[in-house]
Amino acid sequence: MGKRKAAKKPGKKAKLRPLDKVFRCLFCQHAGVVHCKLDRQEMVSRIECSRCAQWFETKIDHLTEPIDVYSLWIDATELANRPQQSNTGSTSTQRTNTNMGDDDLPESPRNPRRRPSDRSDLVSTANKDLDPLDDPDEELPDGIFS
């Protein structure tokens, strides 16, 4: 008879490192000079560089941590530095209405939506004589689904 296998010892749990509270400045690139202050009573946070005096303020909630404010600062900086799109010669695809239906969505240049009139390329001319139901312009005969 064989020996009963012993249960494996549970592995060591990885210790969670605390989240950073001091960061690298986006503008002067010095490490450890950006500090974040969370004012939980006023629900406002301010992140500031002690070297170049750049700062960013944002509203927070009770779950916000300093790393969240830093990432919001990065996003806001990237948005501010993004070149503005000119509307000359083309229509803008950005819309402010959030209640857009499928007909209101802008067409993608990679996958344009086909209109019913554009479906003529789907019907092969060789098969046109074989099956009249494949023609998109003709209506279906009555009683086909009964």
Residue 117 lies in a domain: no
For residue 113, is pLDDT > 60?
no
Residue 53 lies in a domain: yes
pLDDT class for 132, splitting at 50, 70, 90? low
Residue 75 lies in a domain: yes
pLDDT score for 141: 67
Once rounded to an integer, what is the mean pLDDT over residues 2-24? 86
For residue 86, is pLDDT > 90?
no
Once rounded to an integer, what is the mean pLDDT over residues 55-72? 96
Whole-number Å distance between alpha carbons of 122 and 138: 14
Contacts 24+ apart (CB under 8 A), 44-53: 45/69, 47/23, 47/73, 49/25, 51/25, 52/25, 52/27, 52/28
Residue 95 lies in a domain: no
**Residue 43 sits in which domain range?**
22-80
Q: Specify whether the CB–CB gap between 58 and 31 falls below 8 A.
A: no
Residue 119 lies in a domain: no
pLDDT score for 139: 66
Tokens for 42, please give them.
Answer: 């006023």
For residue 30, is pLDDT > 50?
yes
CATH number of the domain encompassing residue 71: 2.20.25.190
Tokens for 62, please give them.
Answer: 């009770």
Whole-number Å distance between alpha carbons of 26 and 136: 58
pLDDT class for 109, splitting at 50, 70, 90? very low
pLDDT score for 27: 95
Residue 45 lies in a domain: yes
**Cβ neighbours around 47 below 10 Å, total:** 22
Tokens for 54, please give them.
Answer: 């750049």
Once rounded to an integer, what is the mean pLDDT over residues 120-134? 49
| Out of 25-29, 36-40, 104-108, least confident range | 104-108
How many domains would you assign to the chain?
Answer: 1
pLDDT score for 128: 47
Higher-pLDDT residue of 58 and 142 is 58
Residue 123 lies in a domain: no
Dihedral through CA 98, CA 99, CA 100, CA 101, nearest 10?
Answer: 150
